[in-house]
Amino acid sequence: MPSDHDVVIVGSGPLGTSAGRRLAEHGLDVLIIEQGPAISDPPGSHTRNAARFHADPDAYLEVATAHLDFFDDSVPRDNLPGAAVTPARGGQGVIWTNLCPRGDALWDALSPDEWKAYYDDAETYLDVHAAPFEESTRQQRIKDKLGAALGPDGRAVETLPVAATFDGDGYLHFTAPYDILAASAAATERVRVIEAAVDTLVHEGSKVTGVVAGGRTIEAPEVIVAAGAIGTPQLLHRSGIRPKALGRWLSYHPILVAQLVLDPDLCAAPGEADREPRLQIPPSAAADWYSLVLRDVSPFQPEAPDDTVEPNRLVEIQGICPVDIAEENGIAFDADSRPTFHVPLSPADNARLEGARDDADRITATLGRYRAGCEPIWMPFGFAHMTGTTRMSASDDGTGVADYQGRVWGFDNLRLATNGLIPTRMAVNPTLTGTALAIAVADRLVTAA
Ligand SMILES: Cc1cc2nc3c(=O)[nH]c(=O)nc-3n(C[C@H](O)[C@H](O)[C@H](O)COP(=O)(O)OP(=O)(O)OC[C@H]3O[C@@H](n4cnc5c(N)ncnc54)[C@H](O)[C@@H]3O)c2cc1C
């Protein structure tokens, strides 16, 4: 029986959904197979848009982390105790915090003009905006004060783009895979999502012929695996597709976080409505990590005398530290394709972590002071922003799993759409870059057909 879809996509996260939307806009019928259930309504929408988080935004983080399935959170930090997946309709795109900088470490898979065009498209799909945050009093004043302090070191303080829009009541609506599809008439018509775990890819020679999911084989003229930076190499491994680079060259971001009480002169008056600020300090020669100053979500339990602080006085800072790339850093899969992680920090990584820690003190001294109980902590190592696990390479020389079109080396009709394709040490949050790549992979599929 002929299939009623042109392309099968494994995984309904932001990247699989973006590839699916693009293919639909090219007139193709797409079947997305997602292993997890819907955990939001409508399915694939952002959990953070629920009204209860308007009154208590910090309650969100606990709800989001409840949707993280950790592999083993008791292992030492070199083994990534924070490594986790979210088997749910929309993947981690229903719990992410939506910060969407453009990449700082691009490579030559796309020309500069193509990168720009695909970033533009990714920003449209994810509904990314920066300008609305400039209306925040804290935003303007922090930008001026911190910019004056860091500018002499060649560090810029800029507005941070976010995949979200303010609604009529002044609350942020966060973009999730549901929105990516719903914004496109073609995607609404041509993309179908079903719930089933893909067990293996059926392949012969250079062709994948189908996927085994939920105990049946589904015919697959073209396949894109968009199962996340862990799930994608895991599915290839389970399917017996095991190129040398699979799971290796892993990078990720140790993330330092703290909450500050701002000096009063940086804030709107107590009780006055003020948009939450979101600012970024891109990596530079003087500081090769990525810093954020924003009011987003706080993982802390504040202590006396700061249990209660006027909301306009609060911001968080984050220090996002890219980890050096080395072939031996990565995921090992056992005979049942269960992953374990080995990513020891290099001396340069440790120096970067120390630099980011000192930088947090400097930023804090410029803007105010740490809130009691909210002094800097490292988030569990490995919990977000994994890259490189199915990296792209210019040639089939053993350093990559996929070519510059996202096609797995040696296959005609098997492609990937995942942050795992990113082969460079990216300092900034990766989802916008991954989405740009996913859209490019979809275009290449169409032009190759
Ligand atoms: C708390 C948190 C906050 C974050 N904030 C940011 C941020 O501010 N900015 C940013 O850039 N990034 C952020 N991220 C990272 C961001 O969520 C990911 O980069 C993004 O979700 C990756 O999208 P994806 O589609 O590649 O993978 P995922 O979102 O992981 O989706 C993969 C999907 O594939 C499915 N799948 C896997 N294997 C199979 C299988 N065998 N069969 C069927 N389905 C399968 C999974 O169930 C999942 O739904 C954050 C992550 C977390 C956890």
We report the CATH number of the domain holding residue 148 as: 3.50.50.60
The model's pLDDT over 28-86, given as tens digits with 9 standing for 90+, comes to 999 999 999 999 999 999 999 998 898 888 899 888 999 999 999 999 999 999 999 99
Contact 380, 366 (CB under 8 A): no
Q: What is the 418 CA–ligand 1 centroid distance (Å)?
A: 9
Q: What is the 124 CA–ligand 1 centroid distance (Å)?
A: 19
The pLDDT score that the predictor gives to residue 416 is 98
Which residues face 208 on adjacent strands? Answer: 203
Q: Which long-range contacts (CB under 8 A, 24 or more apart) does 265-271 make?
A: 265/141, 266/138, 266/141, 266/142, 266/145, 266/367, 266/368, 267/137, 267/138, 267/141, 267/310, 267/312, 267/313, 268/137, 268/138, 268/312, 269/312, 270/310, 270/312, 271/310, 271/312
Contact 211, 239 (CB under 8 A): no
Q: Whose CA is nearest to atom 52 of ligand 1?
A: 96
Q: Is residue 143 part of a domain?
A: yes
Q: Between the CA atoms of 357, 358, 359 and 365, what dihedral angle is there, to the nearest 10 degrees?
A: 120
The range of the structural domain enclosing residue 301 comes to 7-448
Q: Tell me the C-alpha distance between 83 and 36, whole Å.
A: 18
Report the candidate in 174, 212, 23, 193 with the shortest Cα–Cα distance to residue 92. Answer: 174
For the purposes of burial, counting CB atoms within 10 Å of the CB of 4, is it exposed (0-12), middle (13-18) or buried (19 or more)?
Answer: exposed
Q: Of all atoms in ligand 1, which is nearest to the CA of residue 432?
A: 11
Q: Is residue 204 part of a domain?
A: yes
Q: Is residue 399 part of a domain?
A: yes
Q: Is residue 1 part of a domain?
A: no
Q: Is residue 104 part of a domain?
A: yes
Q: Whose CA is nearest to atom 41 of ligand 1?
A: 198
Q: pTM of this prediction?
A: 0.98
pLDDT over 70, % of the chain: 99
**Residue 162 DSSP label:** E
Report the mean per-residue pLDDT for the chain: 96
Could you tell me the two tokens for 382?
């490995």
Question: What total number of domains does the chain contain?
Answer: 1
Bridging pattern class, strands 278-281 and 290-294: antiparallel
Report the candidate in 294, 414, 301, 302 with the shortest Cα–Cα distance to residue 363. Answer: 294
Helix (H) or strand (E) holding 85: strand 84-85
Q: Is residue 389 part of a domain?
A: yes
The pLDDT score that the predictor gives to residue 1 is 43
Contact 298, 61 (CB under 8 A): yes
Q: Of all atoms in ligand 1, which is nearest to the CA of residue 93?
A: 21
**Residue 7 DSSP label:** E
Quote the distance between the C-alpha of residue 188 and its chain's center.
Answer: 24
**Residue 221 pLDDT exceeds 70:** yes
The model's pLDDT over 310-328, given as tens digits with 9 standing for 90+, comes to 999 999 999 999 999 999 9
**Where does ligand 1 bind, in terms of residues with CB under 6 Å?**
10-16, 33-36, 64, 86-88, 91-93, 95-99, 197-198, 226-228, 231, 235, 384-385, 418-419, 429-431, 434
Q: Is residue 2 part of a domain?
A: no
Contact 309, 302 (CB under 8 A): yes
- State which amino acid sits at residue 408: V
- State which amino acid sits at residue 20: G
Q: Is residue 375 part of a domain?
A: yes
